[in-house]
Amino acid sequence: MTQGSLAQWVVNAVDPLALARFWAFVIGGEVEARSDGWAVLHGADGQPRLSFQPTPEAKARPNRVHADVVVDDLSASVRSVVEHGATPVGEVVTDEEGSFQVLRDPEGNEFCLVKPDADGF
């Protein structure tokens, strides 16, 4: 097989448009509502496209893949995404690469807000 290229990440969602709008708030980009029920977040600044596929059932298990979103101010960013529907999971963790907070988006998908240390991420 020849190497492929990543076209997009697809997320199953009970409410694709609402979840796309949440992620547009978190990482930027333009939301497109499609007539087939899908919603697409066209990434800003070269970020990959996220597509939200309608599914009738809510998330039932932990993610096997999650997003790490780098932020400048961890505390302020956590407060902001919580105001927009995210839920923190546990406490802020600090390790050799910096600090991070695990959260769940409005449909329960885990992601991390990350504040790297001075050496970067």
| pLDDT, tens digit, 9 for 90 and up, residues 84-100 | 999 999 999 999 889 99
Query: Among residues 22, 86, 103, 120, which one has the least CA distance to residue 112?
Result: 103
Last residue of a domain, one of 38, 56, 74: 56
Contact 118, 96 (CB under 8 A): no
List the domain range (segments joined by +) for residue 76. Answer: 66-121
| pLDDT, tens digit, 9 for 90 and up, residues 49-92 | 999 999 998 888 888 889 999 999 999 999 999 999 999 999 99
- Is 118 within the bounds of a domain? yes
- Is 16 within the bounds of a domain? yes
Per-residue pLDDT at 110 exceeds 90: yes
76 & 108 share domain: yes
42 & 90 share domain: no
Q: What is the residue whose two structure tokens read 């097989």?
A: 1
Identify the CATH number of the domain in which residue 25 sits: 3.10.180.10
